[in-house]
Structure 1
Amino acid sequence: MSIVLNKNFLDMNNLKSILILLISIIFFSCGEDDNIPEPKVVADFETEVLLGENQAIVTIKNLSQNATSYEWSFPDGTSDNTTEENPTVSYIKNGTYSITLVSSNGISTDTKTVEITIDNIPDNGHTPYRYLENDGIFMYYETDNEEVYRSLIPDEFEMPSRMVVFAFFNDFYKLDYGATPYKENALSILVKYQGEEFFHCVYMPVTDEHSMWAGILGLGLPKTIGEVNFTRDNPIYYGDAKNQLDGTMDMSINTENFTIDNDIKQEMINLQLLKSLQIRNGNIVVVGNTGGNSNSVIQTAEQVPNRITLKFGEATITTNTDAISFNHPLDLTPSRVIGGFYLKNTIPFGLTGNQF
């Protein structure tokens, strides 16, 4: 079989037509690719209501799809950032509130509004965190690191008569209201305010996010998430913690054959009678115990030994800040250990943060 080509098929006019057809196909094919629409933005989020000091704290998890920017609206709520991807907002009264999110990718936007109902803010002025049982180790010491000490004092406060640090590990293993048990590690320093001396907490890693937000927003405490462990190996009690900057603290109380000196005991009682001040939303607040006990923990333990177990012991503390390049509370190492003790408490209590 033979194929015979029509000579007209190969003339210049037909070649031009074929060329134009090919160019058109290529052009329109490229145009179709260029006009592929951007993925559609879908605004979505979920909320969780936590409880703080006399307020509800709402954490938000952003579930938006194909978005690059966010704008939040919290009528009647308080939030530090309305453009953050996963913000936090607080409310001081029970009620129904709306939360609106506008998600965008620069080309398209989508909006979602959710109503939340808050009905568990107590009206008694007390935190809904109610501690049923806890134990831990506590110590007081003096430091001679004046540079770091001064750098940790907020502008609202002044240097005290001496540089004293209060350090502790606390295991809140039994709480009411279905709250999650957690552990915390802390450092507080002595400061002066309006001529009086108080303790002011400057460092507090904790193991539970609920407790962290309740402490930050409710009491003005510098809580962060960290690794905190507490070991009971009677007569030695031991705590170790690591913060998010890889700074560490190790602390122990050895109660074996230990007798407390009466002068040291009285010195710790005097320190325990001092109030604690924090700064919450620009206001000075007194952090106190809902029990209203004006005695020190040491004095209370002597009065109700069936409810509070307190053992004095030899206190040691070591810290490591090699991974931290700036002044940090863990740099406040002891120049003189005042004293320490192990304590187990079974008297329920809460915490308040009343304006000074």
Structure 2
Amino acid sequence: MRSLNITTQLAVIVPVGAMLIAFDSSTWWEAAVLLVGVVAAMVSVVRWAQDTISAVALPCLGVSAAVWVFGVLVAESPTAFYSITIVGPLIVPQLPRHRIAAAAGLSAFVGVVGAARLLVSDGDAGPTLFQYSLVPTGVTVFTLGFMFANQAFYNLMAELEEAREHEAELAVARERIRFASDLHDIQGHTLHVVKLKTALAEKLVRADATRAEEELREIHALVGDTIKQTKELAYAQRRLNLAGELENAKNLFEAAGIRVRIVREAEVTGPAGELLGQVLRETTTNILRHAQAEQVRITLSASGITIVNDGARGQTPPELRGLSTLRDRLAGEGGELTVVRADGEFVTAAAFPSGVAR
């Protein structure tokens, strides 16, 4: 982009500058001085496109100003302002402060130096002022206005690019949080269930070896299924099945000696079903970890899912980070997640007010 910017601007500046030198200089040394001004303009354009014009601002501006003074007082060259009307407008909008004052000062300098032609000219004042003062000042003001607008455009583009970068960073952060949440759902749930079943198998190993072997086989199958789900998560292929999660929750509660009742008022599929499956899985893990429940009631309706357990103990509920993350995810899909403790019961409800059976 910078190379294109430099090429397109120099493609205009160099031919125009060469033409003005050819038509507006009567001796070789006058042409040489005007050429120095064009070179200063070229250097300024290149360094401006490279965003390093501040390093050459003073020498280029001094050279172009001297060329304009030379053109007015010595060479009788009304187009000697060419270089300063390129260099000045490139520098002024880049200043950190006092840009308006600098723009006014530059325009005044061009106009006053041009008016100084009256001191060495015997011609009519009107045409001389028009040719040496009014036209150069007008060109300077116009170019300054254009470059200020150009600078504002570049600043806006830079802000948009920065905003896009921030948005990309936020998207990456959100994806990492989502991945961590899903990984927590899989690994955390499995580890707690394995812990439960291992403790049960340990109790049964002498009293009921056959049942203990069955529990160990279930642990083996559960670990294998978790490995599979982790791979699916890594390759973005994981999909939760709400019906499967209901059956899994029922088996886990029964294995833990908790009575469970499932009421299916409606079937939910699609993305909403996956979210509700995540809520059910997280809530099941929380009940097994934190509650001393004897009975769990799961109600699936067209608007969501409600899980009630009678294991609420103490005055303050435990911190449930997994549900907090799911609350944000449901909110992003137009749903809401509520967790309420009342009359010895702990109620977790995920609902889509507009209905999820769609």
Q: TM-score, normalised by structure 2?
A: 0.24
Q: Which has the higher strand share?
A: 1
Which is greater in Rg? Answer: 2
Q: TM-score, normalised by structure 1?
A: 0.25
